[in-house]
Chain A
Amino acid sequence: MTDSTETLERLADSDYQYGFVTDIEQETMPPGLNEDVVRLISAKKQEPDWLLEWRLTAFRHWLTQQQPQWARVHYPPIDYQAISYYAAPKQKSEGPKSLDEIDPELRRTYEKLGIPLAEQAILAGVAVDAVFDSVSVATSYKGKLAELGIIFCSFSEAVREYPELVRQYLGSVVPYRDNYYATLNSAVFSDGSFVYIPPGVRCPMELSTYFRINASNTGQFERTLIIADEGAYVSYLEGCTAPQRDENQLHAAVVELVALDHATIKYSTVQNWYPGDAEGRGGIYNFVTKRGLCKGHDSKISWTQVETGSAITWKYPSCVLRGDNSVGEFYSVAITRDYQQADTGTKMIHIGKNTHSTIVSKGISAGHGQNAYRGLVKIMPTAEGARNHSQCDSLLIGDQCGAHTFPYIEVQNPSAQVAHEASTSKISEDQLFYCRQRGISAEDAVSLIVNGFCKEVFKELPMEFAVEAQKLIELKLEGSVG
């Protein structure tokens, strides 16, 4: 894995310091952030005035804010003036020209994960239109979805085509003032995905393949908005199990979900950004704000995440349970090794009556990895009959890693039932020997035990994704014992 990540780093480093590269369709802004930059981004995207105003308000607010320090992660200060905030799609000549030019070690990783060739090319940054076919596949999906009235497009397209919907919901779950990174995202977001499922429609496919093919280069300030109207259902898959090439170190994405009466949104993530090398150099800083609003009664939002990559993960997918009888779920596997740091968890805010939430968090640490679960369960005075069950388990591999649990529970309604369970275990020599005595190698034994540990979360993932996630974890732990 180390070799392939080095390859990624090389790929990632290969073409960044370009400064001005201007031709007719291609542009990269020079590094730096000020109001003019925000205006320029908005102008490039031909956005309506209200959106520019929203960005500017966010930017002015951001200037008054400090980077938060409370998370249990350590990193050198980020120079926001050293980042370039707008880059149009890459020129074809910049990336590798074909799969044959990709490092064989990286190819091996892809093959082990069973990633189709076409996708391998995208992920490795091979110039896209040389490769596909799949563009037409994507288009045919789109046709099928359109028949049902489902909107699934890039965020920019949504701003152009469905401005009313965007305006109604943008910032309604994660307001621009929410937190430092969300505020920054609101000012400079580049692109992302937009989904709208009309009333009573059950989206017939996982919104995934399309996404993987088309949105692998949405950049570092991604913005996603998903709305499930009354009685609608959608399952959305984000990310990919293959190691992802990305030239940006800082990622600050925002995801907003809105579920109306009786609607269900299932959002699954597998995150495998470049984690840095074995000595802790390089790697993505991933500061993400993800939140779902169960706006209607009997609505449900379910987050499932498998976090394996990034040097730093700072992420708390949350549910605001406003509608009566609404349900929030959070299933998480976070794995850290080498010098990776993860501070992740969730917030469940119970506002409506008889709202239920479930939290299942599995943290795995190997090498020098540090893993923290941070979770808030808040029962508001109005949340009569609210219930929460939280379970946070940590698994340690080796004795130089760490696991930390920070549960915050605030109960303001006496009828609420809140239960929290936590455990920390270590893969013991006894367990390893037991497996080995049955013929299973130490390495296979570790993945067997780890997969067992993660099972409750994996079973929430769509089938093929679960298989990929399992393989990913195995790759991730290669060489972590013995």
Chain B
Amino acid sequence: MLEIRNLHATVEGREILNGIDLIIRPGETHAIMGPNGSGKSTLANVIAGREGYVVTEGDIFFDGKNLLEMDPETRACEGLFLAFQYPVEIPGVANLYFLKAAVNAVRKYRGEPSVDAMDFWDLIHERMELVKMDESMLKRSVNEGFSGGEKKRNEVFQMAVLQPRFAVMDETDSGLDIDALRVVADGVNALRSPERGFLVITHYQRLLDYIVPDYVHVLVNGRIARSGGKELAVELEQQGYALYNEEPGRARRAA
């Protein structure tokens, strides 16, 4: 469903991604690990279409459509979701209101009428339970004054409400306590389905105990240095990335 071919991207003139190949099929969950600054968030931002991230070479296809030709909101309406590494605060805009605007934007794109108030309420409550979110969060402004962990949980909550076909989760586990990690992972697992794909960026093998990936990739210096199964994460946890820094450029395609 997501096909990345020979992707090169620059930020402020600096080449950050240099030749990424990655294919994710419906139903698959892929994990990306890699040292700080290796380009994981950059990849996520390029997929989501953030301004300032310039693709200099390569393609991304989403269900056969050229993703790079779409603006960010179109990508979102096509079913792409990014759980941000650093969720943004929007003062004055209630979480619930924001979500409704998002849901209706997607429905409008699909030519559907605005969501029925009762249906929306039911959906919200069902999804709130899924990620064990407190109702008081709905009335609060988007991410404003949320703790680090609450922000991450809110990202997963939004994802659960929007039900995208493909989600990139950028270090959603960072900042979560052990119980929250389990709740968030349960939330993600509940969304896993044969039609949905996930790309999970993380530094910790622990998350992958809960969200068990089909493939693990190691991103180093803007390239995928190695790909493997979930046991690769265990290996990385023990050995670190030192090995890969020595020999960049061994890009491998996921099987």
Listed in ascending order, the chain A residues whose CB lies under 8 Å from chain B are 425, 428-431, 433-442, 444, 448-449, 451-455
* Known A444-B101, A448-B101; contact A439-B92, beta-carbon cutoff 8 A: no
Q: Which of A438, A440, A442, A451 has the most CB of B within 10 A?
A: A438
A448 touches B98 (CB 8 A): yes
Q: B72 at interface (Cβ–Cβ under 8 A)?
A: yes
A441 touches B105 (CB 8 A): yes
Per the bound structure, the CA–CA distance linking A444 and B97 in Å amounts to 13
Per the bound structure, the CA–CA distance linking A449 and B81 in Å amounts to 21
Contacts of A439 in B (CB 8 A): 73, 76-77, 102, 105-106, 109, 162
Contacts of B76 in A (CB 8 A): 436-439
B residues 72-99 near A (Cβ < 8 Å) are 72-73, 75-77, 81-82, 84, 87-88, 90-94, 97-98
Q: B71 at interface (Cβ–Cβ under 8 A)?
A: yes
* Known A438-B105, A439-B105, A440-B101; contact A453-B91, beta-carbon cutoff 8 A: yes
B16 shortest CB reach to chain A, Å: 17
Among A425, A435, A436, A438, the residue within 8 A (CB) of B162 is A438
* Known A438-B102, A439-B76; contact A433-B51, beta-carbon cutoff 8 A: yes
Contacts of A433 in B (CB 8 A): 48, 50-51, 72, 88
Listed in ascending order, the chain B residues whose CB lies under 8 Å from chain A are 48, 50-51, 71-73, 75-77, 81-82, 84, 87-88, 90-94, 97-98, 101-102, 105-106, 109, 141, 158, 162
Return 27 A-B CB contacts under 8 Å, by A number.
Answer: A433-B48, A433-B51, A434-B88, A434-B90, A435-B90, A435-B98, A437-B72, A437-B75, A437-B76, A438-B101, A438-B105, A438-B158, A438-B162, A439-B106, A440-B102, A440-B105, A441-B73, A441-B105, A444-B101, A448-B101, A449-B92, A451-B92, A452-B90, A452-B91, A452-B141, A453-B92, A454-B92
Contacts of B109 in A (CB 8 A): 439
Contacts of A434 in B (CB 8 A): 84, 87-88, 90
B152 shortest CB reach to chain A, Å: 14
Contacts of B158 in A (CB 8 A): 438
B45 shortest CB reach to chain A, Å: 9
Contacts of B90 in A (CB 8 A): 431, 434-435, 448-449, 452
Among A430, A441, A448, the residue within 8 A (CB) of B93 is A448
B92 touches A455 (CB 8 A): yes
Q: Quick one: closest A residue to B107, CB to CB?
A: A439
Per the bound structure, the CA–CA distance linking A431 and B90 in Å amounts to 7
Contacts of A449 in B (CB 8 A): 90, 92-93
* Known A448-B101, A452-B141; contact A436-B92, beta-carbon cutoff 8 A: no
Per the bound structure, the CA–CA distance linking A448 and B101 in Å amounts to 9
| Sample of 16 further A-B pairs with CB below 8 A, known A436-B71, A449-B93, A453-B92 | A431-B90, A434-B87, A434-B88, A435-B98, A435-B102, A436-B73, A437-B72, A437-B75, A438-B162, A439-B106, A439-B162, A440-B105, A451-B92, A452-B92, A452-B94, A453-B91
